Structure 1
């Protein structure tokens, strides 16, 4: 079963040649990590897969349907997005923000029910922000806001998660708890596709890797085939030392 598929997809980055067309399928149970230096196009790819930005060429399918042929409400029932940066359009409490995740499942002008509120409260508790339910989001720290954003998608309950730096602003404990939550989502039959900067988080948590080079070159496949030191050194322009810890590779940059 294909949840999300890119076919001959070339993302639109001004000033860059086409590069390699992307052909990959996101399936239930998979944890994808997208790696690459700044400017490689990771965020643009995420926005393109979500239908927020048109590709230069190629297509994206959500299940059996072209993404462009679906209404936004249909897309929102299947895709959940966590952006790297967010702007608060209007003052809202943490609970009100989490309840936005239920909107794709409500008819126009329908109010949230008690069941919707219970789902949102459970999601906030899972992200360790349940005690902040009555706080205004714009009074929270960066890490708290990030966890509220993830709780909102958990409230939404999509089958595919698209996340841009989900561990951004999080301390070590909450990085681990968020990645454990995403792993649980994948194990329950959903899929996770996330852009990361931390090689070691990708090595620890992801089973599929997509490498994006600033030139437009790209390669993807099982994590153990992609996380090759010689390729990663070329990707980042940085020498690495590789060691193993708890059954997973750990990449350490070499001092210049």
Structure 2
């Protein structure tokens, strides 16, 4: 890892570009090493658009994203790819590849042109596959896997990359309960190793259990953000989801349940 200097990835006066929606509130936040940010909001609120904007994959309507104080537009793409890792909600793989070959894509930003992966790259990929319970599938064609297995390959690919900042769009998508917990534990582990993590989530209770900070995105473009304990209020969450909720405590952690 490349010694990330605080505050890491920053959104400065950021308004994401959602077609047909007014500007709403500009977002100013910093994803510092060790933090686990969760992005919550209903369908269409702009969670994926925000994540892609933070990754430099689409331009903002207003404002900018900075890494180490420098606008993403000023970074070389290879250098940026070494620092930011993206777990996409869905993968569309057009070329046949094995699970191991797919995980090795995470090493591409670190390889010079025409250089093949070496023993260290292979060891990183195999360790990542083992961490995601995929070692026994290393030689399988990616196209033969289930949706949940493919999602774990996506996580393993970014783990092979070992970026300073993880941007994960629905990292538990398609996963069964056991692997949901394993995926969230992996992201928490990355934060514990002084990496920054921001993830879009649909599961409110996973966010309440695992996130240190939350960003709430409303369909009208409004937003609020801060430490998780300050964001996890019934008033804010019921407005966010247009859904009455009740809050209970389980082992000292909040759990939110719809009341109808």
Decide: shared fold, TM above 0.5: yes
Match in the other structure for 2:182: 177
Match in the other structure for 1:211: 216
Match in the other structure for 1:223: 228
Which of 70, 75, 85 is 1:70 aligned to?
75
Determine the C-alpha separation between the residues in 1 that align with 2:188 and 2:140.
Answer: 28
Match in the other structure for 1:234: 239
Which of 44, 49, 62 is 2:49 aligned to?
44
1:28-48 C-alpha deviation (Å, 9 max, x unpaired): 000000000000000000000
Which of 137, 146, 153 is 2:142 aligned to?
137
Q: Please, what TM-score do these two structures have when normalized by structure 1?
A: 0.99
Determine the C-alpha separation between the residues in 2 that align with 1:112 and 1:208.
Answer: 37
Determine the C-alpha separation between the residues in 1 that align with 2:102 and 2:237.
Answer: 38
Helix, strand or coil: the match of 2:38?
strand
Helix, strand or coil: the match of 1:2?
coil
Determine the C-alpha separation between the residues in 1 that align with 2:187 and 2:46.
Answer: 23
Determine the C-alpha separation between the residues in 2 that align with 1:159 and 1:189.
Answer: 8
Which of 118, 121, 127 is 2:126 aligned to?
121
Q: Which residues of structure 2 form unaligned runs of 5+?
A: 1-5
Q: Which residues of structure 1 form unaligned runs of 5+?
A: none
Match in the other structure for 2:112: 107
Determine the C-alpha separation between the residues in 2 that align with 1:208 and 1:45.
Answer: 16
1:155-211 C-alpha deviation (Å, 9 max, x unpaired): 000010000000010011111111111111000100110000111000000010000
- Higher mean alpha-carbon deviation, 149-158 vs 59-68, is at 59-68
Helix, strand or coil: the match of 1:25?
strand
Match in the other structure for 1:57: 62
> How far 1:64 sits from its partner (Å)?
2.5
Determine the C-alpha separation between the residues in 2 that align with 1:65 and 1:174.
Answer: 36
Determine the C-alpha separation between the residues in 1 that align with 2:69 and 2:224.
Answer: 24
Match in the other structure for 1:254: 259
Determine the C-alpha separation between the residues in 1 that align with 2:87 and 2:124.
Answer: 18
Match in the other structure for 2:7: 2
Determine the C-alpha separation between the residues in 1 that align with 2:251 and 2:38.
Answer: 20
Match in the other structure for 1:17: 22
1:57-100 C-alpha deviation (Å, 9 max, x unpaired): 10100112210111111111000000111100200000000000
Q: Name the Cα RMSD after superposition.
A: 0.6
